[in-house]
Amino acid sequence: MWRHGQTSWNVERRFQGKTDVPLDETGLEQARRAARLLAALQPTAIVSSTLVRARDTAQSLADLTGLPVGPDQELIERDGGEWEGLSDREIAERYPEQRVRWEPPGGETSPQVAKRVGTALERHAAALGPDGVLVVASHGAALRLGIAHMLGLPEEVWNRLGGLSNCCWSVLTEMRDGGWRLAEHNAGTLPEPVMSDDRAGDDRA
């Protein structure tokens, strides 16, 4: 679950949502660096949000692996409604009550995003072979909420799952019972096996 690289709106702390903002030069370099690391996972499939910042991030990995990028409209970022293009400060000033609830007028709710993205992630994961490795290039809110859906977390604890930095990723592994485990979160390096006395190591990969 790989968040796109930096954009100018990220730097300006503007709500992007489904607005199609491209990567800036830093974001392009972030994507190239991350792709070199993620290629070591030997992915068997790459899918991406249809927004250009995610597509270009995914393409950096496709260039190294030779894999095609499968576009999926269901993986786009949260619809920010009237908040799109506004800075954090502008949102706080104009929409104080909605900001407390994090409900952009005219946009999507968190449960709507979680279901949309989580369902898409599950569909792509189900299409993998037994030893398949899927890389998904998408967006911060979309991925965080989609991960919460896949893990079966109740809505009241979703905020305990931290956000993803630009071009960082999270790794989910399938457990023996068919559920999912969060193995790495907001990482910028490849995951390594965790050796401990905790039974949290009991999964397939």
* Residues identified as active-site: 4, 77
The backbone torsions φ and ψ at residue 53, rounded to the nearest 5 degrees and listed phi first, read -65, -35
CA angle 127, 169, 85 (to 5 degrees): 105
User: Are 180 and 203 in contact, with CB atoms under 8 Å apart?
Assistant: no
Neighbours of 119 (CB within 10 A): 14
Does residue 105 contact residue 82 with C-beta atoms inside 8 Å? yes
CA 91 to chain centre: 23
Decide: helix, strand or coil at residue 54.
helix
Give the C-alpha separation, 155 to 182, whole Å. 17
